[in-house]
Structure 1
């Protein structure tokens, strides 16, 4: 999750470890029910093998999430963000656009979608300079620079 100013909501983020594809949804608050609804909305109909979350209270409905998605939910060890490094790094990239302390009530959904689109079309070294969209959808690289 990427949170804004206290009480202003935030984003639930999901990152595919293989392709680095990002999915994100706004939430009004950090409650377990809001996070559950957002995760199910984001992942319903997609193949999801497992989810790994932190130990925040917002994931208290993990059993309901696992049942709805047909995938197990795992928890990283407390105070071990490196166990979810891809997600933590991606949340840092989101912070380039949505800094800490921002009032998320003022962030429109189309802005969130544009940020997700930008990050999913950003070439990544770990993907051989392919974008997450290219890697996830197995698309050919748009162009290659040859010398």
Structure 2
């Protein structure tokens, strides 16, 4: 759903339209409308009244969308990447030497290290 679809849901729901009627208007499934209303209904007026807010729905969508997908090893193993960057740039080591030294001295465990091929790709 886009923001204008969510705004339509908000307007029609406040007028008392059913989920099926709203879904017909948007040309989508009634369950989509139901999930959207359930997910993004917020409390207003000291928490006693609950209303659907289109802006809240859009911000929730964007937050979930940013968190989805596979994260690269570069992001998950940033401490090791910083260590390799320091050794490579400041001490003049090769990438293979950085990985080998880190593993041999126990500075990083095997599951905290990326391969040299991955380092060369970065």
TM-score (norm 1): 0.23
Q: Which structure has greater strand proportion?
A: 1
Q: Which structure has greater helix proportion?
A: 2
